[in-house]
Chain A
Amino acid sequence: MNRFLKLVNFELGRFMKIYLALIGITIISQIAGVIIKSNSYVERANEAIYEDLIPKEDFFATEGLMSMLHVLRSVWFMGPIALCIAALIFYVFFIWYRDWFGKNTFIYRLLMLPTARIQIFLSKAVSILLMVFGLVAIQLILLPIESVILKWIVPLDYRIDMTVGEIIQNFRELQMLIPSTFIEFVLYYGAGMMAVFIIFTAILFERSFRLKGILFGAIFVGLAVLVFFSPILIMEIMQTYYLYPIEIFILEIILGLVVIGASIWTSHFLLKKKITV
C-alpha cells in the first residue's frame, strides 16, 4: 500500500466511530420511519373504511395511496440525512483543526512525514468524498429494503409500488444526492468537491496566517466563487444570453477545473512554505 492510500485509510479510521454511528442512526431512523408511517396509514385507512364507513375510493382520493413518498417526506427519513450532511460539513473543518488542537500535536507528525505535504490535503479531501459516497451507497441499499418492509405492512390495494429509480425521480432532495444522469453526477459531485477544496484552502490560509489568514481565506473563497460563476454573472449583467446551455455547461466544467487547480496549487504552496504548527 503506498503512503497516500495509507493516509486516506488513516483519515477514514479517525472518523470511523462517528461515521458508523451516523450510518446506524440513518438505518434505524429510516426503517423505524417506514414501519411507523406504514402502520399508521393502515390504521387510518382501516378506521376510515371499516369504522367510519368512508368508501375506499374517497379515502384514497383525499389521502392518496401509501407509497415510499409518504415515508420520504417524514422527519424519520430526511432527519438522519440532514444530520449526516451537517456532520460531514462540520467534519470538513474539523478534519483539519483536530490536528492542531488538544494536548497531542498530531500536525507535527503529519507535516514531518516523508511525503509531499499536498498528499495530506488530498487524503483529507478524498476521505470526505469517500464518506459522502459511502452514505449515498447506504441510502441506495436502504431504499429497496425499506420498500420491501412497506410491502409487508401495507396491503396490496392500499399502496403504490415504486422502483428505486421511481422513488428518486419523484423526490427532488434525493435527486440531488443520487443523480440519474452522468452529467448531473459530474455537476453535483464536481461542484461539491470544488467547494471542499476551496474551504480546505481557506482553512490553510487561516492556519498559515491566523487572524490575517481569515481575511485571505475569505478573499480566496470570494475569488473562486466569482471565477466559477463569471459566465452566468456576465450574462446577467450584460443581459445577453449568447451561450447555449451546453456551452455554459462545458465552460463551467473548465472553470471548475481551473478553480480546483488553483485551490490545490495554493494549498501546496501554503503547506510547503507558510504553514505553521
Chain B
Amino acid sequence: MIEVKNISKKYGRKKVLNGVSFTANKGEITSLIGINGVGKTTILNAIMALTPVNSGEILINNEKINKASYEKITFIPDAITMLPQMTIAEAMQFMQDFYESWNQERATELLGFFKLKESNKISSLSKGNTAKVNLLLGLALDVDFLLMDEPFSGIDIFSREQIAEVFTSHLIEDRGVIITTHEINDIEHLIDKVILLDEGTVIKEFNTEEVRENEGKSVIDVMREVYRT
C-alpha cells in the first residue's frame, strides 16, 4: 500500500500541495484527476523522492522510500527517461544492468505487444512509440507499484487504445497502479478508485463502481458536481 499522509509543498510562495492524503492499494488502479495545476505530477515525484516536500510523510508498504524501494515501485514520467541517442535495445540493457527486478521475458513480450523494433534509436521514434518504450521500461520491472504520469496525453488514438489495453492484460498482474490524468474518457472503465484534486488538495475520493452502484453516477458526473460548484 502507498500511503500519502498530509503532504504539503511550496514552490516559492505558491502552495502546490496543501495537506494531500490518500492511499493506493496493490491490485487496484487509482487515478489522480485534476483539471488544472501541476499538483498531480508533484505528488508522483514526491512519492518517488524526486522532489522534497515541506511537510507530511509518504510510506510504501509501511516504509519510507529508500534505495531498495526502487525495485518495488517505479515511475513512468510523461517524458522518456533514457538518452535519445540510445537504441531501444541499449535502453533495455541499461535497465537489465541496474535492476534486479527487470524481467527480460516480459520486456520481449512487450516489444511484440507494442510492435517496437529493438534496433531503433529512441530519438527516431514517433511520440506514440516513445511513450510505448517509456511504458515498456517501467512495465518490464517486476514491481508492486507502478506510477504513470499522463500516459495518454499528446499521443495518437491508436497508441492510446494500445496503452489502455495494457491495463486490462496480465502485464499489470496484481500490481498497484497510480495514474494521473486530466481526461478520463480512455480509462473510465478501467480504474478502481478516483482521487479528485483541486488547488492542491484532495476534494473527493471515491470508488468508481460504488458511485455507479449507489448513486447511479458516472465519474464525469461526480467531477461535474465537484468542479462546477
Contact = CB atoms under 8 A, between A and B. Distances in A.
A and B touch in the complex (CB under 8 A): yes
Given A104-B80, A104-B83, A277-B45, A112 B70 contact: yes
Nearest to B86: A104
Interface stretch (B92-100, B154-162, B181-189): B92-100
A113 B70 contact: yes
Nearest to B68: A114
Contact of B81 (A109, A115, A273, A274): A109
A104 B50 contact: no
A114 B100 contact: yes
Contacts of B45: 276-277
A256 to B, nearest CB: 29
B84 interface: yes
Nearest to B85: A14
Contacts of B190: none
Per DSSP, chain A at the interface is loop
Given A112-B74, A114-B98, A115-B67, A276 B81 contact: no
Nearest to B137: A109
Nearest to A10: B94
A172 interface: no
Interface residues of A, number: 24
B51 A103 contact: no
Given A109-B82, A112-B48, A276-B52, A3 B75 contact: no
B100 A106 contact: no
Contacts of B79: 103-105
Contacts of B100: 114
Interface string A245-277: 000000000000000000000000000111111
Q: Considering residues B49, B71, B84, B100, which has the most beta carbons from chain A within 10 angstroms of its beta carbon? A: B49
B77 interface: yes
Interface in B92-133: 94, 97-100, 122
Q: Which 10 A-B pairs have the closest CB atoms?
A: A109-B81, A276-B51, A114-B70, A277-B50, A108-B81, A105-B79, A114-B71, A112-B70, A6-B97, A113-B98
20 contacts: A3-B98, A6-B97, A102-B84, A104-B79, A104-B81, A104-B82, A104-B84, A105-B80, A106-B81, A111-B49, A111-B50, A112-B48, A112-B81, A113-B98, A114-B99, A115-B98, A117-B67, A275-B50, A276-B45, A276-B51
Interface of B: 45, 48-52, 67-71, 74-75, 77, 79-84, 94, 97-100, 122
